[in-house]
């Protein structure tokens, strides 16, 4: 039997199984339970956050043989066929490869016919922003007043490219990026079910690398399982991801704090042995400076250390120095492609941080000393003639 990737094997089949997106699930569930189902929905958001999954679950809810509800049974023929991608009344259209007006006209013509099996004929148009202007114009009338048995579910990662006339005809739901805890929690659940051991830090690294996308996270988890060949250890996952060792970032900050140029370049040399992406090193440095600044200005805020002693650096560095270095890291990240080599560009950013440090603030003189100094500096006025 062929292997099914984790992102497909663990795709949610009911609203209750979704991770995050509670605001969307609540709105759709209430619409289904009260019978106030709009004819056109637009799901927007970054890749891998559940747009197509929610649309498929919604289609199951509409066409479940046990009746329309927010909790489809998942057992009837309609639910099973939708899960398998072979339900005749759910037509999934990839707008990236069906962009023309002729493709849309075919949809409009077929929409007039009653569904073959279910209660509704559902058109799921993915990456809808890829449709041509003529295709959008052809779709407008049907999108505004479709037959009673037709529902349109549109999904896009770029809603700004959609005409206002399309947006005004749809109920729009913006799906949020998933946070670190949501992605890592789902990974832990999957690893436990798959009986694969993993370090907590390894899972945390994968969740960070997912950058808010559950699908990306599960793809990385698949890759890590194949790469490790067994237990997911922190060092193995870091090697696979090319992650920057946070202890090296701490060493860079310590050398900068001490004003030790030799130690600074030695740390850069140690980093170079792993052939890192130097822009990622600058990203990690900026993240560390951010944590230090938060500790300085909002001491009560919760922080994840990640190899950097934020408390110690917060005491060593002045707040304005941290701000300056942070801005230098961002500027260096932007200018790195212009450097002769990435390493040379990174070293220049480090040396710039070493060279441009705000002068120490001169303490103000006490008022008495100031008055005394002023008295000495001012010549006495000449006496008036008798």
Are 196 and 259 in the same domain?
no
Looking up residue 192, the CATH number of its domain turns out to be: 1.10.8.60
In a domain, 375, yes or no: no
Look up the pTM and report it.
Answer: 0.79
Of 241, 259, 294, the position where a domain reaches its end is: 241
In a domain, 380, yes or no: no
Q: Write out pLDDT tens, residues 197-250.
A: 999 989 998 998 999 999 999 999 999 999 998 889 988 898 888 778 788 999
What pLDDT shows up at residue 384?
A: 53
Structural contact between residues 63 and 90, judged by C-beta atoms closer than 8 angstroms: yes
What pLDDT shows up at residue 251?
A: 93
Structure tokens at 188: 């832990």
Strand order in the sheet with 40-44: 90-94, 121-126, 150-156, 40-44, 171-174
What pLDDT shows up at residue 375?
A: 43
In a domain, 96, yes or no: yes
Q: What is the mean pLDDT of residues 167-186?
A: 94
* Pick from 221, 251, 248, 250: nearest CA to 236: 221
The helix (run of H) or strand (run of E) holding residue 155 is strand 150-156
What pLDDT shows up at residue 360?
A: 53
What pLDDT shows up at residue 243?
A: 77
What pLDDT shows up at residue 235?
A: 86
In a domain, 386, yes or no: no
Structural contact between residues 129 and 159, judged by C-beta atoms closer than 8 angstroms: yes
Q: Write out pLDDT tens, residues 288-334.
A: 999 999 999 998 888 776 678 888 999 999 999 999 999 999 999 99
- Counting the structural domains of the chain, the total is 3
For the chain, the residue count is 386
Are 51 and 159 in the same domain?
yes
| Percent of the chain predicted with pLDDT > 70 | 91
Looking up residue 284, the CATH number of its domain turns out to be: 1.20.272.10
Are 281 and 136 in the same domain?
no
What pLDDT shows up at residue 374?
A: 43
Structure tokens at 3: 């292997």
In a domain, 379, yes or no: no
Are 160 and 46 in the same domain?
yes
Query: Is 60 a residue whose pLDDT tops 60?
Result: yes
What angle do helix axes 51-63 and 22-34 make, rounded to 10 degrees?
Answer: 20
Looking up residue 115, the CATH number of its domain turns out to be: 3.40.50.300
Q: How confident is the model at residue 385 (pLDDT cuts 50, 70, 90)?
A: low
Are 146 and 237 in the same domain?
no
Of 126, 144, 174, the position where a domain reaches its end is: 174
Structure tokens at 141: 């009338």
In a domain, 99, yes or no: yes
Are 133 and 64 in the same domain?
yes
Are 124 and 230 in the same domain?
no
On average, the pLDDT of the chain sits at 88
* Pick from 243, 265, 267, 321: nearest CA to 289: 321
In a domain, 383, yes or no: no
List Cβ<8 Å contacts ≥24 apart for 294-297: 296/322
What pLDDT shows up at residue 359?
A: 56
Structural contact between residues 90 and 60, judged by C-beta atoms closer than 8 angstroms: no
What pLDDT shows up at residue 239?
A: 84
Are 235 and 275 in the same domain?
no
Distance in angstroms (rounded) separating the CA atoms of residues 139 and 184: 41
| Percent of the chain predicted with pLDDT > 90 | 74
Are 225 and 251 in the same domain?
no
Distance in angstroms (rounded) separating the CA atoms of residues 135 and 198: 49
Range of the structural domain that residue 13 is part of:
6-174
In a domain, 202, yes or no: yes
What pLDDT shows up at residue 1?
A: 53
Are 337 and 199 in the same domain?
no
Are 68 and 187 in the same domain?
no
Are 116 and 197 in the same domain?
no
């Amino acid at each position: 039997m062929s292997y099914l990737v984790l992102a497909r094997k663990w795709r949610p089949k009911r609203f209750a199984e979704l991770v995050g997106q509670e605001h969307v699930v609540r709105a759709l569930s209430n619409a289904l339970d009260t019978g106030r189902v709009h004819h056109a929905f637009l799901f927007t958001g970054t890749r891998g956050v559940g747009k197509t999954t929610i649309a498929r679950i919604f289609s199951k809810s509409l066409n479940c043989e046990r009746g329309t509800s927010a909790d489809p049974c998942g057992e009837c023929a309609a639910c099973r066929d939708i899960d398998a991608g072979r339900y005749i009344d759910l037509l999934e259209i990839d707008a990236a490869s069906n962009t023309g007006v002729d493709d849309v006209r075919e949809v409009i013509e077929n929409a007039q016919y009653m569904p073959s099996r279910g209660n509704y004929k559902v058109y799921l148009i993915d990456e809808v922003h890829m449709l041509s202007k003529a295709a959008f114009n052809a779709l407008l009338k049907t999108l505004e007043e479709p037959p009673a048995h037709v529902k349109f579910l549109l999904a896009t990662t770029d809603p700004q490219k959609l005409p206002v006339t399309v947006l005004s005809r749809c109920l729009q739901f913006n799906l949020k990026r998933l946070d670190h805890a949501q992605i890592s929690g789902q990974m832990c659940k999957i690893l436990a079910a798959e009986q694969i051991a993993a370090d907590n830090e390894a899972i945390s690294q994968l969740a960070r690398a997912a950058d808010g996308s559950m699908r990306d996270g599960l793809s990385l988890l698949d890759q890590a399982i194949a790469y490790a060949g067994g237990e997911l250890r922190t060092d193995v996952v870091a090697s696979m991801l090319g992650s920057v060792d946070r202890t090296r970032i701490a060493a860079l900050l310590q050398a900068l704090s001490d004003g030790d140029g030799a130690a600074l370049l030695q740390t850069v040399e140690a980093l170079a042995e792993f052939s890192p992406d130097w822009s990622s090193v600058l990203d990690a440095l900026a993240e560390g400076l951010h944590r230090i600044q938060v500790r300085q200005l909002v001491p009560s805020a919760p922080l994840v250390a990640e190899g950097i002693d934020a408390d110690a650096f917060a005491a060593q560095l002045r707040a304005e120095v941290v701000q300056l270095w942070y801005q230098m890291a961002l500027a260096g990240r932007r200018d790195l492609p212009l450097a002769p080599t990435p390493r040379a560009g990174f070293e220049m950013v480090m040396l710039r941080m070493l060279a441009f440090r705000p002068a120490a603030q001169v303490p103000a003189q006490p008022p008495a000393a100031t008055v005394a100094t002023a008295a000495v500096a001012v010549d006495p006025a000449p006496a008036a003639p008798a």
